[in-house]
Amino acid sequence: MVKMKVVKKAALRKTGAKATKKAAAKAKDKSIISKASQARKKAAATGTGAAQKLVAQLEVAARTALETCLAVKAGETVLVITDEHKREIGTVIWHVAKSLGAEAMLAEIMPRSRNGEEPPAPIAALMAASSVVLCPTSKSLTHTAARREACSHGARIATLPGITEDMMIRCLAADYNAIAERSQRLSVALESGNEVHVTSPAGTDIRLIRGARHAKPDTGFYLNPGEYGNLPAGETFFAPIEGTAQGVIVFDGAMAGVGKVKTPIRIMVRNGVAVEITGGPEAQKLNELIAPLGEAARNIAELGIGTNDRAQITGVILEDEKVMGTVHIALGDNMSMGGTVSVPSHLDGLILQPTVYVDDRMIMEDGKLLVT
């Protein structure tokens, strides 16, 4: 009997210890989001200098995104999706959404492994049920079935993959009316012909066929049901007809999933597919990213031209591709742009000082827009 009692007591102590650990873990999880909130409030209330200024600037930028770019109204359901790497930015956006009277929700997901990887099914369902969705995440949710389905249900969506505090403050302070006008003029220019020819001093010489596909101006204004785009915004882009791109692309600015490019990435393109990728460590990294996904990940998915005069090359493609005077070309998924290739990857690369022709008309020379 004594031995059984001792065993029972030991078992009870073990069970109690497990329960205590579970409770502690639960409390820790519960406090994760609140810590960022408390830090924000403390800095705003008692902070001085740089910390206080940073919080105020982030809140102004978040208000621009919500009020100006997405026209959030009191009572609308606003979903903010973030991950551990962008938690503080997500929390600021959530707080500002609440202050506008929205039914604001904050959801944190595990960081995705690549741009275009789907979010968890419950999050996808929540996106489709929301009026407005903002996604400050480390990897892009733009080119996902979840985003497309949510837009089909009328959600207005802004994706902010890889956004940093500096980028958010600087680029959301841009004149979006001017960006919209510039992007729309560029859309008209791109749609004035069928073939787009891009060259650059680094060796790019690529021809792509647009066909009847729309050159979409990414203005930063997502005001109507189903509209979506990046924030920061500022580009005009289209999906070339599959199988038509021919030539050579040299990325010498930046590459999604890689960062700033030191050794240019040279890509040989035949019949719309990147058949050879060479260069230094950056090219090796790009090959590693797309290798598990097959030929679809090598599809020439997009051609875009940056129109944001506040954007800088930082190594974060969200901003890099918006830099005025640059061209970006993407590999992989183009379903979100009216194409036919679906693959959980969309990787943009940046071309510096490009010259661009639409049929026989030059619309950009050495990085200078000629569209008026």
CA-to-CA distance for 181 and 183, rounded, in angstroms? 6
Give residue-wise pLDDT tens across range 340-367: 999 999 999 999 999 999 999 999 999 9
- Distance (Å, rounded) from C-alpha 188 to C-alpha 54? 39
3-class SS at 356?
strand
- All structural domains of the chain with their residue ranges: 27-170, 175-369
pLDDT tens column, 232-286: 999 999 999 999 999 999 999 999 999 999 999 999 999 999 999 999 999 999 9
Residue 45 is predicted with a pLDDT of 53
Q: Could you count the other beta carbons within 10 Å of the beta carbon of residue 4?
A: 8
| Residue 79 to residues 157, 279, 315, 316, Cα–Cα distance (Å) | 9, 41, 27, 24
pLDDT interval class at 49 (50, 70, 90): confident
Query: The domain 27-170: what is its CATH number?
Result: 3.40.1830
Instruction: List, in order, residues 6 or more apart from 125 with CB less than 8 Å away.
Output: none
The DSSP-derived string for 7-63 is HHHHHHHHHHHHHHHHHHHHHHHHHHHHHHHHHHHHHHHH--HHHHHHHHHHHHHHH
What is the per-residue pLDDT across 52-105, written as a single tens digit (0 to 9) for each?
Answer: 889 899 999 999 999 999 999 999 999 999 999 999 999 999 999 999 999 999
Nearest to 70 by CA among 233, 186, 181: 233
How far is it, in rounded angstroms, from Cα 344 to Cα 293? 8
